[in-house]
Amino acid sequence: MAPPADARLRLETVRLTALFGRRAVLKDVTIIFPAHTVTAVIGPSGCGKSTFLRCLNRMHELSEGGWVTGRVLLDGADIYDSHVDPVQLRRRIGMVFQRPTPFPTMSIYDNVAAGLRVNGHRGRRELDEVVERALRQAALWDEVKDRLRASALALSGGQQQRLCIARALAPQPEVLLLDEPTASLDPAGTQRIEELCHELKRLYTIVIVTHNMQQAARVSDYTAFFYLGDLIEVGRTEELFTRPTKEQTEAYITGRFG
Amino acid sequence: MTTLPVDPATTPDAVSAPAPTPTPQAEWRTLRGRNVGDRLYRVTLTALALVLPLLLVTLLAELVIGAWPAIQRFGLPFVWTSVWDPVAGVFGAAPMIFGTLASSLLALLIAVPLALGVAIYLTEFSPKWLRQPIAFLVELLAAIPSVVYGLWGIFVLIPFLRSYVVPPLRAALGWTPFFSGVFYGNSLLAGGIILAIMIVPYIAAVSREVLLAVPANQREAAIGMGATRWEAVWTAVVPYGRAGLIGAIILGLGRALGETMAVTMVIGNRHDISLSVLQPAYTMAAAIANEFSEAVGDLHLAAMFEVGLVLFVITVIVNAFARLLIWRVARGTAVGSRAL
């Protein structure tokens, strides 16, 4: 299931294997993410999909005993190369987590600016601009523009999650990783995030891990199905959901397990 | 009424003048209160719980009664006058109050960075196998008897200060009022350092618990947006736990204010206010320990009581202030605030 030839590759993995100590939780995954697409990663719990996502911005190696073999190429360069600084890398590959994780002691403004501040941006005007742009991109600006100094905790769960998206977008990453971003949100909040995925793919390359197959079908261009650490199948979303080529995929998407 | 057994003795009354029918809630309350053992247990525990506040009140009353002659004689100026002359019967506690506060603040100045450093290292940076041993050793410091610290202060710390620390300190900062004068050994500096070592384990242990209670997703959020481990600690972890960390520091301060033995042994016990940390000083706790048993006359005794009262009040104020600070900072979120 190759992507259209004109689509530029942004991110790809080559025989990526992720391990905890000696236990491989992800085996030999080779997959490509074309620029400006949304790829959904689905699979039952424990299939390695979150670990996979965490390999893409080198968060996996921070877990106890976590390491990888194989390669992850961002614009053709291996992010596991010895001269790559993982801290710099994570500014190019933003991540949003399952539960909203605003910094509770910071204002809305400071939350969005946090990623820039650690980056060394301190100019007042520059920060203002970036914060507004990030909040607009995260479709939160209109709701918070009058109370940027208020605590981030004053926001609803859905708003908090969009705030986290804005925080991830502020340093202008190239890739956005979303790890079950709607798992703790109500349907309205979920819908906003899904709409956001459509908007954001014009600017970013998005990988979204989700438990919810309807969500994968709604938001993604490509879908990858993981099972027990293996990449079973990847393809255009409508094809994967209508004409899966592997039996396990079909069993999962028709709800026979997982 | 058929389902509940009715006491025959009360029935005639109920018939002649119908009592207000018990509400369902009241009925349930009586049903619940049936078990005599439980009731006895609850009464006992309530009594025990009340003993503590009662003890506090009694203590305060005793202090006030004991101090009354001195309070009447000297009034409020007791806390800001400096003459302490048992023979003439004139007492002013300002130097002790100053010494107590100064030595405690000096101790915090030294202990807080050290203890926070230990806590941050243990929770964020140290290899896993090292965490328990170091945490254990640091907490072991709290188990060493105060008098042993005092001895160590006299025989190790003070000679060390005299040979290696004070000369360069005076050379560099001798022109400031804080490091002026001749250094004889027993001094505010020695007292502050001893206190710092004694309160590090408390601050470190509580800070460590607080930092451990910060959810992992706060760290991950910071690291995921391109923060280094160090930046993650300062932008996410420490602010999240700041109420608890303040609590830890105040706990240390509370201990420093009241610590007696070790301080008495190294602080010099001179009833005098000097800005220089190289000069001897006095603390309230040290004064009480030193003079109480040999107080000459009732007024001297009453003055000692009043010193105790002032110390008591200062600790209460510090703790109240700490509560206020924690409450203002926490605003519902920060971890560790509830434990304090």
ipTM value greater than 0.90: no
CATH number of the structural domain spanning residue B273:
1.10.3720.10
What is the bridge-based pairing of β-strands A205-209 and A175-179?
parallel
Neighbours of B209 (CB within 10 A): 17
Residues B161-184 have pLDDT tens digits of: 999 999 999 999 989 999 988 899
pLDDT band at A53 (very low <50, low <70, confident <90, very high): very high
| More reliable by pLDDT, A122 or B257 | B257
Residue A220 lies in a domain: yes
Q: Determine the structural domain holding residue A28 and report its residue range.
A: 9-101+176-253
> Does any domain span residue B303?
yes
Establish if A108 belongs to a structural domain: no
Cα(B193)–Cα(B109) distance, integer angstroms: 10
For residue B329, the chain A residue with the least C-alpha distance is A105
Predicted confidence (pLDDT) at residue B336 exceeds the cutoff of 50: no
Point out the residue among A95, A119, A151 whose CB comes nearest to the CB of B224.
A95
**Residue whose pair of structure tokens reads 């000679």 in the numeric block:** B159
Interface contact flag, B224 A171, Cβ < 8 Å:
no
* pLDDT band at B12; cut points 50, 70, 90: very low
Q: Is residue A149 part of a domain?
A: no
Q: What is the pLDDT of residue B1?
A: 40
Give me the pLDDT at residue A7, please: 55
H or E segment to which residue A238 belongs: helix A237-242
Arithmetic mean of pLDDT, B195-223: 93
| pLDDT tens figures, A82-127 | 999 999 999 999 999 999 999 988 999 999 999 888 777 678 888 9
Query: Which pLDDT belongs to residue B31?
Result: 73
Q: What angle do CA A130, A132, A134 make, to 5 degrees?
A: 65
Is A73 inside a domain boundary? yes
Q: Per the domain annotation, does B62 fall within a domain? A: no
Size of interface A-B (CB pairs under 8 A): 75
Structural domain contains residue B155: yes
Identify any residues that bridge with A13 across adjacent strands, giving them in sequence order.
A31, A72
Q: What is this structure's pTM? A: 0.82
CATH of residue A239's domain is 3.40.50.300
Query: Residue B297 sits in which domain range?
Result: 76-330
Percent with pLDDT over 90 in chain A: 72
Q: How many domains does chain B have?
A: 1
Contact between residue A101 and residue B218 where contact means Cβ atoms under 8 Å apart: yes
Position A114 in a domain: no
Using alpha carbons only, give the angle B217, B223, B226 rounded to the nearest 5 degrees. 145
In a domain, A185, yes or no: yes
Is the CB of A117 less than 8 angstroms away from the CB of B235? yes
Bridging pattern class, strands B90-91 and A77-78: unpaired
How many structural domains does chain A have? 1
- Best interface-test mutation with B: which of A63, A88, A101 has the largest number of B CBs within 10 A? A101
Alpha carbons A248 and B326: distance in angstroms, whole number: 54
Asked if A80 contacts A87 with a C-beta cutoff of 8 angstroms, the reply is no
Residue with the bigger pLDDT between A7 and B281: it is B281
Give the Cα separation of A183 and A191 in Å (integer).
Answer: 12
Say if the Cβ atoms of B224 and A94 lie within 8 Å: yes
The one-letter code for the residue type at A215 is: Q
Of B223, B228, B334, the CB nearest to A59: B223
Please tell me if residue A151 touches chain B, with a CB cutoff of 8 Å. yes
Residue B296 lies in a domain: yes
Residue A33: pLDDT above 90?
yes
Q: Is B88 a domain residue?
A: yes
pLDDT digits (tens, 9 = 90+) for B297-332: 899 999 999 999 999 999 999 888 888 887 877 654
Residues with Cβ within 8 Å of residue A34, at least 6 apart in sequence: A3, A4, A7, A8, A9, A10, A205, A222
Q: What angle do CA B18, B22, B24 make, to 5 degrees?
A: 150
